[in-house]
Copies of this chain bind each other. A is one copy, B any other.
Amino acid sequence: MALLKPRSRRGGGRPTIADVARKAGVGAITVSRALREPGRVSEELRRQIEAAIDELGYVPDPNARALASARAEVFGVLVPSLTNNVFAEVVRGIYDSLSDGPFRIQLGNTHYSGLEEERLLQVFGSQRPAALIVAGIDQTPTSRNLLQNAGCPVVQVMETGPDPVDMMVGFSHLDGGRTATEHLIEAGYRRIGFIGARMDPRSQRRLAGYRAAMEKAGLFDPRLVTTTPVLSSVTLGRELFRDALAKMPTLDGVFCNNDDIALGVLFECHRASIEVPKTIGIVGFNDFDMMQVAFPSITSIRTPRYEIGRRAVAMALAAIAGNRPQERVVDLGFELRRRESTAR
């Protein structure tokens, strides 16, 4: 008589929770509990179960878990760019904070497109993630709606604003732009340009900060502003600076939308023998490592990218654990790093 079930598990024969339960002499559900809520299982059984797990080399199947509990141990992370170092550091912060626990990261690249963001939120939602972390606060109404109905903690990162979907961690780009510009003004520069590429909402707010500072000092002139929607790069920084100079030869300072642009400006100054900081003052944004090494070293606004990632995860984990933080909007601030490029 043949065996009824020829042990042909479809799934490749890895040990399951039932195998562990059999070996430990307990019910499957007790194994499940021992894994998820160890406190609710007696110490004796827990030890037996752990021994069985070790012996069999059991690893829980995240897919089965997600299906049964209608909740995947996944953090959905949406950023507008994978190669922009700013977001890479945010992602690194998220990753480092999550690598101890059971949570995986599902990365989405919106390419600075609201439509793509909507599409990704749709896809991510179908997985019932444990939390969503999205860059920016300017979601489309559709995206906002998707976030609101995601049924999980949501953290908007990089910026602060008055109206969080759920939680927020970031800083004020407007204040950052204003601080950078005020610093140039205080240093004695007057014909201060703004140079920016890829004018996403954060860049727009830095520009607004620049404008506020310039207007307050009675120095604003629209011809001082040079922008392009093209993706930022060092090469582009150089080109935009040449455009700006051509348009406004009396330029004596520039606030650059980001450090790439600032570096391009610096190199062009070298090339054209424009003295920095004497003839032109330069301020960057983000304060990448290279800013302090550049010659002359470049003043920049230090932004807490890595810390934003870490804090976003901490808030999301707290919310998952049931104690949503009191402060739903966390401003991590920024810091002006004064260097040679503005030391006139």
Chain A positions within 8 Å of B, measured between CB atoms, are 10-12, 14, 59-64, 66-67, 70, 72, 82-83, 85, 88-89, 91-92, 95, 99, 104-107, 109, 122-123, 125-128, 151, 233-235, 237-238, 260, 263-264, 267-268, 270-271, 289-290, 292-295
Q: Could you say which of B70, B107, B289 contacts A95, with CB atoms under 8 Å apart?
A: B107
- Of all chain B residues, which has the CB nearest A60? B126
Q: Could you say which of B67, B91, B128, B293 contacts A12, with CB atoms under 8 Å apart?
A: B128
A271 CA to B59 CA, complexed, in Å = 56
Contact between A83 and B83, CB atoms less than 8 A apart: no
Contact between B62 and A127, CB atoms less than 8 A apart: yes
Contact between A83 and B92, CB atoms less than 8 A apart: yes
- Of all chain B residues, which has the CB nearest A87? B88
Q: Which residues of B are found within 8 Å of A270, using beta-carbon distances?
A: 270, 295
Q: Could you say which of B63, B107, B294, B295 contacts A105, with CB atoms under 8 Å apart?
A: B107
Contact between A234 and B63, CB atoms less than 8 A apart: no
Given the interface pairs A70-B12, A234-B293, A293-B235, the reply to whether A89 lies near B85 with Cβ below 8 Å is: no
Q: How far is the CB of A338 from chain B (nearest CB, A)?
A: 18
- Of all chain B residues, which has the CB nearest A94? B82
A286 CA to B305 CA, complexed, in Å = 25
- Of all chain B residues, which has the CB nearest A12? B70
Q: How far is the CB of A144 from chain B (nearest CB, A)?
A: 18
Q: How far is the CB of A94 from chain B (nearest CB, A)?
A: 9
A88 CA to B82 CA, complexed, in Å = 6
Q: Which residues of B are found within 8 Å of A235, using beta-carbon distances?
A: 289-290, 292-293
Q: Which residues of B are found within 8 Å of A293, using beta-carbon distances?
A: 234-235, 237-238, 263-264, 267-268
Sample (11) of A-B pairs whose CB atoms are under 8 Å apart: A59-B122, A63-B72, A82-B91, A83-B89, A85-B85, A92-B109, A105-B107, A260-B290, A267-B295, A268-B295, A270-B295
Q: Could you say which of B64, B85, B125 contacts A83, with CB atoms under 8 Å apart?
A: B85
Contact between B83 and A109, CB atoms less than 8 A apart: no
Apart from A63-B127, A82-B88, 14 more pairs, CB < 8 Å: A61-B67, A63-B64, A64-B67, A83-B92, A85-B85, A104-B106, A106-B106, A235-B289, A235-B290, A237-B293, A238-B293, A263-B290, A264-B290, A264-B293
Q: How far is the CB of A113 from chain B (nearest CB, A)?
A: 12
A12 CA to B264 CA, complexed, in Å = 52
Contact between A126 and B82, CB atoms less than 8 A apart: no
